[in-house]
A = this chain, B = another copy of it.
């Protein structure tokens, strides 16, 4: 059995920013009741600070409108009814927008190309002036409604994945630079304190785009308060019916792509300290990849969250929930959606990986490819441990931790998520994979989607606690060790009755 000795004196590298931001399907879906309930569940357990998604300017949000004046002129007008409703509901849940500007309102579009089942128009504006006015009016409205202090804390990202032909007509880089330039100046005109960034590109650290963008901004002295890109870690999916099956990158390879990107940014003296956000990440980038619903996804993410903070200022898991329509409306509650939560408000295993990381407080005292351990000032030790079977090669993985402590009585609480005890996908399969859940099935799934909780009393020997850990296939475990002096009531003797 592996033995690990924790030393409390050293600080281990670990940048926990797990609750910074989370992704979401297009903004119009935020009007849905099921969306709200899933987000409420996520916020109660994890409590993200920001939420980022597409579709702010898509037609279902109905912001951009036009009408003919009596003399036949086409005038713009703005409808903030739904935007207010969405942002109000975010504020109610203690989360704020990380604004992504896009896609193009049909009435403002120069072309007809659309993306997704929900047909987001991805062509440049037919009139850049009207586009800038739209951006400015929207920001001014938000400043008016939510106040400066609030809105100035919302980063603004220009467009989404312009390096893909699906998201930006012809993936035309020069046109994107034009969009970025006029948009960033328009934003600063509203208030120079608003943070603006890009290029929000997908895929590996494309020299052409990332370097091109940074050089362009540097050369022209454009406003640039942060840099953003996305991070998915699988090969191309193989489709079958409604689904796509994928091959994961190794964790090491995944980290190397981020490391390279960071280096490239840092090679620009001017941008060395600039905030860098991974505004989307997940394993697969398709919303119908069954891997998203599995315990393996949870274990893979456990590893990912242990190091991703080394490379960036913040990151945003794509997405919090499964109210999502990019490939159409899902036919079944489990369908390989991106969400931490399945439809019916059922937490998936990955939900708990985020929940567990959220518990980690204090300084890092240990990290390797299987665990992260932190310690708070009051002495509490917490850790997340995982067995990503594809990388560990172990169906069952063991370890013994030695933790130096004072001579007291301690309680260790463990929460375990693995394929046996917290695997709602399996329960759903055993139930026959019903497309429509009956109420009692939904309740059963929710009840079966909780970690198993175990406590034990620990007393140190020779100044150390020994914690034996055994993890099943694709298991993720959280533990917490706190002082727990025994103060029995008069006459009470545990174990006797």
Contact = CB atoms under 8 A, between A and B. Distances in A.
A430 B484 contact: yes
B240 A413 contact: no
Contacts of A67: 241, 490
A427 B452 CA distance: 13
Contacts of A33: 31-33, 35-36, 89
A452 B452 contact: yes
Interface string A214-254: 00000000000000000000000001111101100000000
Nearest to A436: B84
B62 A452 contact: no
A431 B487 CA distance: 10
A25 interface: no
Given A79-B329, A453-B447, A241 B491 contact: yes
Contacts of A420: 454
B246 A497 contact: yes
A336 interface: yes
Contact of A435 (B296, B329, B487): B487
Contact of A497 (B82, B290, B450): B290
Contacts of A444: 413, 453
Nearest to A294: B497
Contact of A241 (B413, B455, B490): B490
B31 A245 contact: no
Contacts of A35: 33
A431 B484 contact: yes
Nearest to A438: B145
A120 to B, nearest CB: 15
B430 A492 contact: no
Contacts of A448: 453, 455
Interface string A271-304: 0000000000000000001110010100000000
Contacts of A454: 420
A448 B329 CA distance: 36
A329 B83 CA distance: 11
Nearest to A494: B429
Interface of A: 31-36, 62, 65, 67, 77, 79-82, 84-85, 89, 141, 145, 239-243, 245-246, 289-291, 294, 296, 328-332, 335-336, 343, 409, 411, 413, 420-421, 425-427, 429-436, 438, 444, 447-448, 450, 452-457, 484-494, 496-497
Given A79-B328, A429-B457, A430-B484, 14 more contacts: A31-B32, A32-B33, A33-B89, A34-B85, A77-B331, A80-B435, A81-B435, A241-B489, A242-B489, A290-B496, A411-B432, A433-B487, A435-B489, A444-B453
Return the 6 tightest CB-CB contacts between A and B, nearest first: A241-B491, A241-B490, A432-B484, A62-B329, A290-B497, A291-B497
9 contacts: A79-B331, A80-B435, A242-B489, A245-B497, A289-B497, A336-B497, A426-B455, A429-B486, A433-B488
